[in-house]
Amino acid sequence: MAERNVLIVDDDRQVRDMLQEVFSSAGYNCLVAHDGREGLAVFRSSRPPLTVTDLKMPVMDGIQFLQAVRSVDTDAAVIVLTGAADVKTAIDSLKLGAHDFIMKPVHVDELLIAADRALERRQLLIERREYQALLERRVEEATRDLATAYRQLRETYRTTLEALGSALDTRDVGTEAHSRRVHGYSLATAREHGVPEDDLTDLAHGVLLHDIGKIGIPDAILLKPGPLTADEWQIMRRHPEIGKRLIEKIPFLRGAVPIVYHHHERWDGNGYPLGLRGEEIPLGPRIFSVVDAFDAMTFDRPYSKAIPFEAARAEIKRCASAHFDPDVVESFLRVPESLLEEIRRRSFEP
Ligand SMILES: [Fe+2]
């Protein structure tokens, strides 16, 4: 019955004996001390849930004792005994954490009711704190689980998109690993251009899916070995619009829409589908069109042989302000050639 321990601290032997008698009869196990210092030593070793202390004592008075006890155990229930002359100090003791004070001479029933009440309040405080800690732990666990699920979901999205990008590449003859390369080139250029890291996910999604609308272009046109007729070009040029309609209703792909829809716009307004000009074109597609052209020039296609990186960079510089945003071209040209090489090499890895 450790919970029924009571520590009685009083320098007056008669009072101590009386208190001990009262508490023992009520079923408490009594620990006794003559002054604050002795009381504190007993308190430290036994940690009684309830302490009853006199205020005026030699060596360490009741207020000092109360403060010391509360600093050892903030849950300690302490009842202060006071004479009529010392009521103000007793009231002060409440501010320092005493649960109650009892006027001397002590009325037995009043003391036992105060003891019960103090222990009850102590118990409530402990339970409330434990409940709070339990809730905090649960919230923490739930947050951790949620974060894990979110990470897995993002990873699933990412790999799904990469797979879709590769699937689109294989349908488009001669553009093997194209989406992986332009993905790498775009991110490097965007970082060089000062695009915030938080915006790079949308950019990456847009790049991987830029030609998703080609799903809606008949194979006879998409895979035609010779040059396209004017009518065929008209159909081919619908792929940004088809792509936009495919993904705009998928919430996590909404950020990819600008690149899918505008990746064939030109800085001078001669592109499609809307013929937007300059900064009317969102930044994502302005970055994409530079690296897309770079990849097209530096990789063998059915009707064009690859040219060296340096020549391709010079050509892009020449086309700035006509095809491309000149500021984006500047950023692209600042990407080290070694990094471009590295991205290209990695695009062939399984
Ligand atoms: Fe395209």
The answer to whether 240 touches 295, Cβ cutoff 8 Å, is no
Structural domain includes residue 257:
yes
In tens digits, the chain (350 residues) has pLDDT values of: 445 899 999 999 999 999 999 999 999 999 999 999 999 999 999 999 999 999 988 888 899 999 999 999 999 999 999 887 788 888 889 999 999 999 988 999 999 999 999 999 999 999 999 999 999 999 999 999 999 998 998 888 888 887 877 777 776 645 558 888 999 999 999 999 999 999 999 999 999 889 999 988 998 998 888 889 999 999 999 999 999 998 998 888 899 999 999 999 999 999 999 999 999 999 999 999 999 999 999 987 766 788 999 999 999 999 998 999 999 999 999 999 999 999 988 887 77
**What is the Å distance from ligand 1's center to 57 Cα?**
91
**What is the Å distance from ligand 1's center to 340 Cα?**
21
The answer to whether 43 touches 65, Cβ cutoff 8 Å, is no
Map 34-72 to HEC letters: CCHHHHHHHHHHHCCCEEEEECCCCCCCHHHHHHHHHHH
**What is the Å distance from ligand 1's center to 271 Cα?**
11
Catalytic residue flag (residue 214):
yes
Map the chain to HEC letters: CHHHEEEEECCCHHHHHHHHHHHHHCCCEEEEECCHHHHHHHHHHHCCCEEEEECCCCCCCHHHHHHHHHHHCCCCEEEEEECHHHHHHHHHHHHCCCCEEEECCCCHHHHHHHHHHHHHHHHHHHHHHHHHHHHHHHHHHHHHHHHHHHHHHHHHHHHHHHHHHHHHHHHCCCCCCHHHHHHHHHHHHHHHCCCCHHHHHHHHHHHHHCCHHHHHCCHHHHCCCCCCCHHHHHHHCCHHHHHHHHHCCCHHHHHHHHHHHHCCCCCCCCCCCCCCCHHHCCHHHHHHHHHHHHHHHCCCECCECCCCHHHHHHHHHHHECCCECHHHHHHHHHCCHHHHHHHHHHHCCC
Structural domain includes residue 150:
no
- Residues 239, 296, single domain; the answer is yes
Structural domain includes residue 214:
yes
Catalytic residue among 214, 249, 305, 317: 214
**What is the Å distance from ligand 1's center to 213 Cα?**
8
**Domain closes at, from 131, 152, 186:** 131
In degrees, to the nearest 5, what angle opens at C-alpha 98 toward C-alphas 96 and 99? 140
Structural domain includes residue 209:
yes
- Residues 287, 192, single domain; the answer is yes
Tell me which residue of 31, 36, 38 sits closest to 16, measured CA to CA: 31
- Residues 189, 338, single domain; the answer is yes
- Residues 194, 254, single domain; the answer is yes
> What is the domain range of residue 43?
2-131
The predicted pLDDT at position 175 comes to: 58
Structural domain includes residue 139:
no
CATH code of the domain covering residue 318: 1.10.3210.10
- Residues 324, 213, single domain; the answer is yes
Sign of the dihedral through C-alpha 117, 119, 121, 127? negative
**Domain closes at, from 81, 113, 131:** 131
Can you give the pTM of this predicted structure? 0.61
- Residues 125, 180, single domain; the answer is no
Structural domain includes residue 159:
no
- Residues 123, 249, single domain; the answer is no
- Residues 77, 176, single domain; the answer is no
**Domain closes at, from 131, 155, 187:** 131
- Count other Cβ atoms within 10 Å, centred on residue 294: 22
The predicted pLDDT at position 333 comes to: 96
Tell me which residue of 268, 262, 258, 263 sits closest to 320, measured CA to CA: 268
For ligand 1, an ion, list residues with CB under 5 A: 211
What's the chain's average pLDDT?
A: 91
**What is the Å distance from ligand 1's center to 284 Cα?**
14
Per the structure, the count of domains in the chain is: 2
Structural domain includes residue 161:
no
- Residues 176, 115, single domain; the answer is no
- Residues 13, 84, single domain; the answer is yes
φ, ψ dihedrals at 8, nearest 5°? -110, 125
Structural domain includes residue 138:
no
- Residues 81, 213, single domain; the answer is no
**What is the Å distance from ligand 1's center to 276 Cα?**
16
- Residues 197, 315, single domain; the answer is yes
CATH code of the domain covering residue 67: 3.40.50.2300
